[in-house]
A and B are shown apart, each in its own frame.
Chain A
Amino acid sequence: MPEEKRQNPFRRIRMRYRGRFSQIQIYLGKLLRMFLYQSDWKVLPMSAMVAGLVGLVIRKRFFETMEGTLMSALAVTCLCLWNGCFNSIQVICRERDVIKREHRSGMHISSYIAAHMIYQAMLCMLQTGITLYVMRAVGVRYPTEGLVTRFFITEFSISLFLITFAADMMSLWISALSRTTTAAMTIMPVVLIVQLVFSGGMMSLPARAEPVTRVIISNYGLKLIATQANYNAQPLGSAWGTVERMKGNEIKTTLTMGRILDYLGDPENPQAEQIRSVKLTDDSSLLGAITVGTVVDTVNAGEDSEQLRAQTIPIDTTVGEVIGMLGEKEVREYVETKATESAQVSDYDYSKLNVAVYWLSLAFFALVFAGLSTITLEMIDRDRR
Chain B
Amino acid sequence: MGFTSRELLEYLANCFSGGTWPWGNVAGLLFIIGEWGLLQKSGLKGWWALIPSAREYQLARCAGREPEGRILSMAEFGRILTNGAMYIARNQGGIVASVFLVAEITLEIVVFLYRIQVFSGLIEGYGTGRRWMWLWVLHITRWIPALIWGWKKKYLPEWQVEDLRREMLVRASSGSTTVLDQGLTVNLKERSTRDFFQKKILLWDIHMVIPQGHMVLLLGGSGAGKTTLVNAINGYEKANAEIMLNGSNMYTQYKHMQYETGFVPQQELVRNKDTVYYTLMDAAKLRLPKDVPGDARRKRVEEVMEIFGLTAVRNRLVQKLSGGQKKRLSIAMELISNPSLFILDEPDSGLDGVMARELMQQLRKTADTGKIVIVITHTPDRVIEFFDDVIVLAKDSARTGRLAFYGSIREAREFFGCEKMEEIVKLVNRPEEGGAGMADAFIAKYKEVQHA
Which residues of A are in contact with B by a Cβ distance under 8 Å?
6-11, 14-19, 22-23, 26, 29-30, 33-34, 37-38, 95, 97-98, 100-102, 104-107, 206, 208-209, 384-385
Contact = CB atoms under 8 A, between A and B. Distances in A.
B247 A26 contact: no
29 contacts: A7-B247, A8-B247, A8-B248, A8-B253, A9-B248, A10-B260, A17-B288, A17-B289, A19-B290, A22-B285, A29-B278, A29-B282, A30-B274, A33-B273, A33-B274, A33-B278, A34-B274, A37-B273, A97-B269, A98-B269, A98-B270, A100-B236, A104-B236, A105-B287, A106-B259, A106-B286, A206-B94, A206-B95, A208-B95
Contacts of B236: 100, 104
B265 interface: yes
B193 interface: yes
B196 to A, nearest CB: 14
Interface in B5-24: none
A273 to B, nearest CB: 45
A209 B248 contact: no
Contacts of B246: 9
A101 B273 contact: no
A107 B259 CA distance: 11
A37 B274 contact: yes
A95 B271 contact: yes
Contacts, number: 97
Interface in B157-189: 181
A34 to B, nearest CB: 5
Given A15-B259, A104-B258, 14 more contacts: A8-B247, A8-B253, A10-B256, A10-B257, A16-B289, A17-B289, A17-B290, A29-B282, A30-B282, A33-B278, A34-B271, A34-B274, A98-B269, A98-B270
Interface string B265-282: 101011101110010001
A224 to B, nearest CB: 25
Interface of B: 94-96, 181, 193, 227, 231, 234-237, 246-248, 253-254, 256-261, 263, 265, 267, 269-271, 273-275, 278, 282, 285-291, 317, 337
A26 B285 contact: yes
Contacts of B289: 15-17
Contacts of B317: 37
A100 B193 CA distance: 20
The dominant DSSP class at the B interface is loop
The dominant DSSP class at the A interface is helix
Contacts of B260: 10
Contacts of A19: 290
Contacts of A30: 271, 274, 278, 282
Contact of B258 (A22, A95, A105): A105
A105 B286 contact: yes
A383 B231 CA distance: 12
Contacts of B263: 101, 104
A134 B223 CA distance: 57
A34 B260 CA distance: 29
A38 B273 CA distance: 6
A106 B282 contact: no
A199 to B, nearest CB: 15
Given A15-B289, A95-B271, A102-B286, A6 B247 contact: yes
Contact of B282 (A16, A26, A38): A26
